[in-house]
Structure 1
Amino acid sequence: MPPNTETQTFTIQNGLTRLDIQERVKQGDALFIFENKVYKVNRFMKKHPGGELAIRHVLGKDVTDEIRSMHPPRVYERMIKHYYIGDYIRDNNNVTLVSGAKTRTTSTHNHDAPMQIDWQGGMSVKAFNNEIEQLHTKHAQDIKTYTKGQKNLTMLEIRQEFQQLEQELKDRGMFECNYWRYAKECCRYTTFIYLSLWLAFRGYDTWHFILSAVFMACFWHQLVFTAHDAGHNGITGRVEIDHLIGVTIADFIGGLSIGWWKKNHNVHHIVTNHPENDPDIQHLPFFAISTRFFNNLYSTYYNRVLEFDAAAKFFVKYQHYLYYLVLSFGRFNLHRLSFLYLFFDKEVRNRKLELTGITVFFIWYSYVLSYMPSWGMVFAYVMISYMLTFPLHVQITLSHFGMSTEDLGPDEAFPAKQLRTTMDVDCPEWFDWFHGGLQYQAVHHLFPRLPRHNLRQCVPLVKQFCDRAGLHYYVYDFATGNGVILGALKSVADQVGLMNNVAKHNAGVWSGETLEEKN
């Protein structure tokens, strides 16, 4: 965090209450609370590496856990030197927070073991709908059971338990990056791209080129996990170095903007699963994970109304059928979002470098396509190499689409919100390489800077923390997680059908004719 001349004119306050802070925020001051100290960051917001919007979402709030989880300790030291303006006077009458406690005797399943479901092959559409609807109902009942709870904890008590967990992870060395793991992954990346290019350049039969496209998709799918680490400054811990690593991987090799990803992803971590604020769940006209999207919500990220128009009504009505098909086009959409960011966003850092990187990507990828024997094969190569990256999009949406989208207010503790809005996906340890370790999204959301190779080892400690804090840790196997999300999508889709039927009935009433009379 660079020095700011603004700090030289700060008047240190003896103390500020919550009302003082809220009043100053209304007047235009960018204030937030960190470890019982108040900071003013008006001039720094636009320089924030994580984007200005990430800060705007936390103004006037106590964001101790958010800052600790997403920034290294050296940032805290610079903050107090340049942006501190006074101590926070806590109002003890405004700290009670009810957290969902564990109730093993009434729970629909043991939260310490992955929930599982057996999928039957060749089931009919009706049976498929019944299966996912039952699973979604079971999941919803489980959420309701745990939300009622039996243990009332204040926000301070939850924070103390969470900081105790953080310290335990540090003592165990979980925040130390294991570069040997990256060496092993580099071998995998090199193998995939070598096989892809060798088959493309030396191939002479159709299956050679198709297989080349498959290996290209595998290469991109795996490489994005390291780009993710770089975006979180989780490789070297140095913003500048990790940013260059991210640009190299995302822009030069993948054709996507790491700057866009960081802006989008940081907001997602702050306001997870909030319909108006989280861009990662704003996918109209194709998906709506809450009926709140029926009300033409205003997106604070895109600065526009998300219209629930005729196209949205059609796609959302069948979204549980179209889920995998739509996600298979996810990589094309990432190109679109990257270009919108680089050409029209005013906050872009290193715009020329990123545009250069994406230009280089299209040059080398076009060179590979030039070896295809026909235009038909060019089309097939692009579609296969792009669409087969869809497991990544499934994995990320899986952890959030089926979870809570409620807004429980500014006093909800950070770990409580992350565990309420995020699920983990369990798998055999030998299969971690496929998911990149990021199948443990709940653990990742609690500690975004924690190296993903260590996420599995943290699961038992997170479960212990949930027991102490009275929070619920949602973990399913991959098949069950898919059932949960399809059930959630179907639940919203059914509401569209009901809404259409009501509209038809009302139209009949107004015309003096009921639906029964028409039939």
Structure 2
Amino acid sequence: MHMNGKDSTDAIIAYHPDWVIDKKIPHFCVGELAPNERTVDSKISLAYRQLDERIRKAGLYQTNYNFYIREIIKFAFFWVGAIYLILRFPNFYGVLGSAFLCATLWWQAAFVAHDAGHSGITHDAWTDMNHNVHHIVTNHPEHDPDIQHMPFLAVTAKLMNNLYSSYYKRVMEFDAVAKVMIPIQHYTFYVLLAFGRFNLYANSLAYVFSKDRVPHRTLELCGIAVYWTWYLALLSTLRETPGLIVMHILVSHMLTVILHVQITLSHFGMPTDVVEDETFAEMALRTSMDVDCPRWFDWFHGGLQFQVEHHMYPRVPRHNLRKIRPWIAQFAKDHGLTFHNYDFIHGNGIVLKCLHHVAMEVKESLKAVCEKVAEEDKKKKLM
């Protein structure tokens, strides 16, 4: 729907494998534009398609399943280790170690979930509407659900205007809570992210129990039930020491703050302007940030350090993203576009600077409103 009335060729290429484009899409053809109505493809779009062909010929859309076998083994180690430490050492140090392993498991597993959400593992389509929308309208205040975190965070002062979210189908009210939280968001940012996993629980339950059509609802519910069954059973072994239960929950959940920082780092510091007639590649480069890190540290960022590459070609498996980075950098250079690539600390600084700028803008606007109200009250009293 977001591509309605626009040339969506590049977006179609980004999301669909060859068999869909060659065999399935032709069945949906309802006509062809007359010669005088056709637009000339921009040089950037043509270069984008040529680069897609280069990636395809290099075999970089193909998944190396050994990579994911290693990931599964790694997850199994974390899971078994977390259970073993509590059962074998039900004391402060054992519980602390278990909490650390649980946090690491959830943090690293999220990267695989992200890969799967883009059909980047099996290349078989599964529903991931929220994230697909995010890629089509990245950083659009009204349409991108991944930057809609009112009333606690705002990456643009436009959210003061009670914008309507086309994804959540509700008005994002700039309410009393927002008036308190947004002006101090650069101070509360990391604190809020530390509670991000609890927010994910709430969103997951709201989603599966909503009245809307939920694809794979039964499977989703089974997954949630399995998770809570094993985790609560593990915590129940500490029932005689409730303090350790609380510690395990808080430590394991709040340590996943690393993941939430990585997720927000990619876009929170990037522009939220709406640019008409912008190509898919231009939008990806303008609204996404890479994190510069050595190859041996790729496991830490789980592919999220290659957000520019991922947004331009979301179906490229995570383990191949580093290989196409030089091509993307050269693509940007050839077309006079900026390739945002910063180290982790610098990237965090950019995000905090953006949050501070929006906070001060909101603060000044609220101050102006208060002064205006006070002036009007003063005039009424004089009358």
TM-score by length of 1: 0.70
User: Where does the alignment leave 5 or more consecutive residues of structure 1 unmatched?
Assistant: 1-55, 96-154, 244-258, 514-519
**1:443 aligned residue:** 309
**2:215 aligned residue:** 349
Out of 496, 499, 515, the residue aligned to residue 365 of structure 2 is 499
Match runs of 1:65-104 below 5 Å = 65-89=10-34
| Alpha-carbon distance in structure 2 between the residues aligned to 1:78 and 1:168 | 21
Out of 356, 362, 365, the residue aligned to residue 490 of structure 1 is 356
Identity %: 45
Question: SS of 2:215's equivalent?
Answer: coil
What CA deviation, in whole Å up to 9, does each residue of 1:384-416 have, x standing for no partner?
A: 11111111111111110111111112x210000
Out of 355, 365, 384, the residue aligned to residue 251 of structure 2 is 384
CA contact (8 A) 1:289 1:401 kept: yes
1:237 positional shift: 1.6
Counterpart amino acid of 1:295?
N
**1:457 aligned residue:** 323
C-alpha change, 1:510 and 1:479, in structure 2 (3 Å) is same
Q: Which has the higher strand share?
A: 1
**1:139 aligned residue:** none
Question: SS of 1:268's equivalent?
Answer: helix
Counterpart amino acid of 2:93?
W
**2:275 aligned residue:** 408
**2:110 aligned residue:** 224
Q: Which has the higher helix share?
A: 2
Question: SS of 2:205's equivalent?
Answer: helix
| Alpha-carbon distance in structure 1 between the residues aligned to 2:208 and 2:23 | 30
CA contact (8 A) 2:266 2:304 kept: no
Counterpart amino acid of 2:273?
E
CA contact (8 A) 1:161 1:469 kept: no
1:94 positional shift: 6.3
Paired residue total:
378
Counterpart amino acid of 2:255?
L
1:89 positional shift: 3.5
1:234 paired to 2:101: no
| Alpha-carbon distance in structure 2 between the residues aligned to 1:91 and 1:374 | 77
| Alpha-carbon distance in structure 2 between the residues aligned to 1:495 and 1:399 | 22
**1:195 aligned residue:** 81
| Alpha-carbon distance in structure 1 between the residues aligned to 2:222 and 2:170 | 29
| Greater Cα shift, 466-475 or 215-224 | 466-475
Question: SS of 1:238's equivalent?
Answer: coil
1:310 positional shift: 1.4
| Alpha-carbon distance in structure 1 between the residues aligned to 2:270 and 2:150 | 18
C-alpha change, 1:358 and 1:204, in structure 2 (3 Å) is closer
**2:229 aligned residue:** 363
| Alpha-carbon distance in structure 2 between the residues aligned to 1:186 and 1:353 | 20
User: Where does the alignment leave 5 or more consecutive residues of structure 2 unmatched?
Assistant: none
1:296 paired to 2:166: no
| Alpha-carbon distance in structure 1 between the residues aligned to 2:190 and 2:35 | 48
| Alpha-carbon distance in structure 2 between the residues aligned to 1:472 and 1:380 | 45
What CA deviation, in whole Å up to 9, does each residue of 1:28-62 have, x standing for no partner?
A: xxxxxxxxxxxxxxxxxxxxxxxxxxxx2112221
What CA deviation, in whole Å up to 9, does each residue of 1:206-248 have, x standing for no partner?
A: 1111110110010111111111111111112223xxx5xxxxx
1:91 positional shift: 5.4
**1:209 aligned residue:** 95
1:92 positional shift: 7.3
**2:241 aligned residue:** 374
What CA deviation, in whole Å up to 9, does each residue of 1:345-400 have, x standing for no partner?
A: 52312211211221121111111111124222222211211111111111111110
1:175 paired to 2:61: yes
Question: SS of 1:199's equivalent?
Answer: helix
What CA deviation, in whole Å up to 9, does each residue of 1:93-126 have, x standing for no partner?
A: 966xxxxxxxxxxxxxxxxxxxxxxxxxxxxxxx
Question: SS of 1:364's equivalent?
Answer: helix
CA contact (8 A) 1:161 1:468 kept: no
Question: SS of 2:213's equivalent?
Answer: coil
1:190 positional shift: 2.1
1:90 positional shift: 6.0
C-alpha change, 1:310 and 1:80, in structure 2 (3 Å) is closer
Match runs of 1:12-411 below 5 Å = 56-89=1-34, 155-239=41-125, 243=126, 262-372=128-238, 373-409=240-276, 411=277
| Alpha-carbon distance in structure 2 between the residues aligned to 1:86 and 1:507 | 58
CA contact (8 A) 1:329 1:386 kept: yes
What CA deviation, in whole Å up to 9, does each residue of 1:456-502 have, x standing for no partner?
A: 12111101111222221111100000000000000000012212321
CA RMSD of aligned residues (A): 1.7
